[in-house]
């Protein structure tokens, strides 16, 4: 039934859960998940700063509950994320005296973190976003705190350590804008090279934080095809569609001019106009239609949240937006205007 019921023989359908979701497990949420999703992702609660806030202190309270919840619901479980330049405490990169860690020190910080976290959930978390967002949109290595000390070897080291910790786990490289040709090419050149050298790296996570019109379905398909041609599996890891104007021009820029500046971030005081509901529904339909062409290679499609009001897009790229990116309204009611178009597929 629900969204997952439309795609049972195609791919897992997932949702990211917030810390509050996992702490409170409200009944409406639990019913919505069991009817609609068969995979879970942790929005923030498994990130480095959440589980490993101090050098000698791990805090697995919420992460344990997340994994137990998934087991009760028989969900395919995602770990997100082991090595990233964001939501990672400063002490990882710097010593108490403010001096940057050496190569050897930073490598051992990384290895220790991956080992402890993955060992704890060995055999219980099925797939990990091992490295997140290590490339720029131009396909260069991002000049992150990891890269600046360890060079590109940090990616290899992360995957090698992860594979040792849980040889059964599916290991993914995850990023956004994996449709821009230079970025996709840069990621694939590097990941396929280390894979050919024997490093266990199974797939590419395409985040899919999308706009209403951009990227085009053609651009997305080209990227999917390239990934498939390189012999990797694909997960759609963080699907949402932002239809609000966005000052960065990253998405939604086409409707920017329709709103006075003050209204740009909350333009629909009376709820989403029907015309935009339809555009959003068509966009989701087109995306799923594309993904259905590649079911042999796509393991799962995960929405980055359940309800609109919980979406990170209410606070990104600036605070105080009212976003409409997901499939459930505030009462956990499925938006029929979106669902009905998927049923037609």
Could you list the active site residues?
Answer: 238
Tell me how far apart the alpha carbons of residues 132 and 82 are, in angstroms, rounded to a whole number: 8
312 binds ligand XIL (CB under 6 A): yes
Q: Which two tokens stand for residue 241?
A: 């569609």
Minimum distance of ligand XIL from residue 300's CB (angstroms) = 15
Q: How many residues bind ligand XIL (CB under 6 A)?
A: 6
- Pick 161 or 207: Cβ nearer ligand XIL: 207
- Pick 312 or 337: Cβ nearer ligand XIL: 312
10 binds ligand XIL (CB under 6 A): no
Q: In the range 13-52, which residues lie near ligand XIL by CB under 6 A?
A: 43-44
Minimum distance of ligand XIL from residue 44's CB (angstroms) = 5
Strands 209-211 and 76-83: unpaired
302 binds ligand XIL (CB under 6 A): no
- How many of the other CB atoms lie within 10 Å of CB of 71? 11
Minimum distance of ligand XIL from residue 317's CB (angstroms) = 11
Q: Which two tokens stand for residue 321?
A: 């937006």
Tell me how far apart the alpha carbons of residues 109 and 258 are, in angstroms, rounded to a whole number: 49
Tell me how far apart the alpha carbons of residues 207 and 133 are, in angstroms, rounded to a whole number: 10
- Pick 35 or 44: Cβ nearer ligand XIL: 44
Measured in degrees and rounded to the nearest 5, phi and psi for residue 269 equal -65, -25
Q: Positive or negative, the Cα torsion across 287, 85, 323, 51? A: positive
132 binds ligand XIL (CB under 6 A): yes
- Pick 32 or 207: Cβ nearer ligand XIL: 207
Q: Which residue is nearest to ligand XIL (CB)?
A: 312
Minimum distance of ligand XIL from residue 169's CB (angstroms) = 18
Residue pair 321/250 in contact by the 8 Å Cβ criterion: no
């Amino acid at each position: 039934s629900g969204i997952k019921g439309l795609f049972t023989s195609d791919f897992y359908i997932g949702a990211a859960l917030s810390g509050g979701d996992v702490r409170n497990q409200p009944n409406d949420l639990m019913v919505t998940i069991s009817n609609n999703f068969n995979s879970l992702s942790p929005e923030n609660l498994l990130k480095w700063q959440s589980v490993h806030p101090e050098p000698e202190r791990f805090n697995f309270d919420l992460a344990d509950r997340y994994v137990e919840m998934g087991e009760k619901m028989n969900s395919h479980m995602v770990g997100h994320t082991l090595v990233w330049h964001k939501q990672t405490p400063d002490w990882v990169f710097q010593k108490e005296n403010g001096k940057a860690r050496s190569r050897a020190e930073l490598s051992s910080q990384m290895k220790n973190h991956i080992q402890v976290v993955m060992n704890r959930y060995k055999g219980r978390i099925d797939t990990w976003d091992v490295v997140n967002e290590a490339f720029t949109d131009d396909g260069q290595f991002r000049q992150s705190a990891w890269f600046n000390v360890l060079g590109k070897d940090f990616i290899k080291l992360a995957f090698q350590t992860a594979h040792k910790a849980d040889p059964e786990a599916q290991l993914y490289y995850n990023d956004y804008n994996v449709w821009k040709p230079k970025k996709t090419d840069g990621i694939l050149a590097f990941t396929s090279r280390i894979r050919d050298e024997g490093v266990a790296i199974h797939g590419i996570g395409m985040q899919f934080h999308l706009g209403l019109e951009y990227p085009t379905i053609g651009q997305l398909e080209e990227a999917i095809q390239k990934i498939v041609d390189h012999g990797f599996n694909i997960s759609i890891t963080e699907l949402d569609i932002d239809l609000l104007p966005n000052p960065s021009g990253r998405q939604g820029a086409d409707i920017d001019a329709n709103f006075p500046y003050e209204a740009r971030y909350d333009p629909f005081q009376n709820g989403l106009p029907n015309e935009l509901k339809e555009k959003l529904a068509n966009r989701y339909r087109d995306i799923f239609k594309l993904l259905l062409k590649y079911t042999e290679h796509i393991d799962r499609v995960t929405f980055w949240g359940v309800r609109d009001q919980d979406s990170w897009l209410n606070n990104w790229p600036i605070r105080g937006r009212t976003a409409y990116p997901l499939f459930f309204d505030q009462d956990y009611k499925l938006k029929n205007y979106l669902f009905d178009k998927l049923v037609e597929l």
